[in-house]
Amino acid sequence: MILSKSNLFKPTSLIIILLFLLTVPFWAGNYMIHAAIMTFLMVIYSATWRQLFAAGEFSFGHNAWIGVGAYAASLLSLKMGLSFWLALPIAGIVAIVGALIFGYATLKVRGIYWAILTWAFGEVLVAVYTNFSSPFGGAGGLSSIPRPYVPFFPEAGESKIFWYFLGLAMVLIILVALYALEKSRFGRNLVLICEAENLARSLGIDVLRYKVINFTIASFFAAIAGAFYAYYVTAISPLVFNVMLCFLIVIYVAVGGRGNYAGPIIGATLLTMGTQALIGAGFYRTMILGVILIAFQLFLPTGLTGLPQLIKIWLQRRRLKGVADESSA
């Protein structure tokens, strides 16, 4: 897997995008602000899933860690009375502990077998949430999750503008952290592990340790986003965190491009905003997304971020063909 650069991360582009995002709540309606908040969450889910893929790990259970964060934070507030500001990071710590245990126990397994294990783990958690009314609320889930309290702004939790800016800050922090990780020595070693695991071992890299740390980081950020979601909607149920959520994440990353850091951002943004119009379509929404995934895998496997390179190659071939035709004439 080759990690390519993107024009999205040039300073001028970043400044323009950030300025635009800062203005959105002042001209957009509540529905659009809500769609933007959900987009922030999907970007985090997708970017953290791609972080796993950077080490060559294909997860079908990323939804599990999102659910762990949501349920842990909700229970900490509902059962123990902790505030949003304390429960959110503690939920992330719960995910760290769980990911370390699960990672060390399973990451020696490779390829499709590990993907199956992650899927099974996610489904086991959904079954636990569904069948245990105490403390998980059973099939009905948990409700009346308390809003965060903000000094001098007690109504903040009811304001979509508050949630928008909090979500924007969260997604920016997580994306910067993941970008720094990718550009670090740790990230470069992950690429080596992905492309040539045996070579990485021969160079003295502790492959299992790297994979577990990477898995834990991705799970931690996914859990933080899951906890944010729980407080934002104030009610969660097991069905929200089933394998269909991971299916959506895989589609977002595939459409944007797995080999480019900007891929999950572009894919999640376009498809989340685009499918808001299909929110009541039920089965047809899933079917449309499935068709999109198949189409991209067949005709544009590098995703949207790979399109400029493909166009460049096509133009070069046409130019070379033209030169060859002129020479033969």
Which pLDDT score is estimated for 4? 47
Position of tokens 């079917």? Answer: 287
Express each pLDDT in 240-273 by its tens digit: 999 989 998 999 998 888 888 888 999 899 888 8
Q: Taking the CB of residue 55, how many other CB atoms lie within 10 A of it?
A: 24
Residue 111 to residue 133: CA distance in whole angstroms: 35
Express each pLDDT in 9-42 by its tens digit: 677 878 888 899 999 998 888 889 999 999 999 9
Contact predicate 263/253, CB 8 Å: yes
- Which string of b and e fits 253-288 if b means at least 16 CB within 10 Å? bbbbbbbbbbbbbbbbbebbeebeeeeeeeeeebee
Q: Where does residue 90 rank: exposed (0-12), middle (13-18), buried (19+ CB within 10 A)?
A: middle
* Helix (H/G/I), strand (E/B), else coil: 295: helix
Phi-psi group of 141: left, alpha or beta (phi > 0 → left; psi -120 to 50 → alpha; rest → beta): left
Which pLDDT score is estimated for 123? 95
* SS3 per-residue string spanning 163-228: HHHHHHHHHHHHHHHHHHHHHCHHHHHHHHHHHCHHHHHHCCCCHHHHHHHHHHHHHHHHHHHHHH
**Structure tokens belonging to residue 179:** 């970008």
- Complete domains list, the chain, with CATH: 7-328 (1.10.3470)
Which pLDDT score is estimated for 280? 60
Residue 100 to residue 154: CA distance in whole angstroms: 37
Backbone dihedral angles phi then psi of residue 290, each to the nearest 5 degrees: -65, -40
Lowest mean pLDDT: which of 70-74, 218-222, 276-280? 276-280
Global pTM value: 0.90
Which pLDDT score is estimated for 327? 67
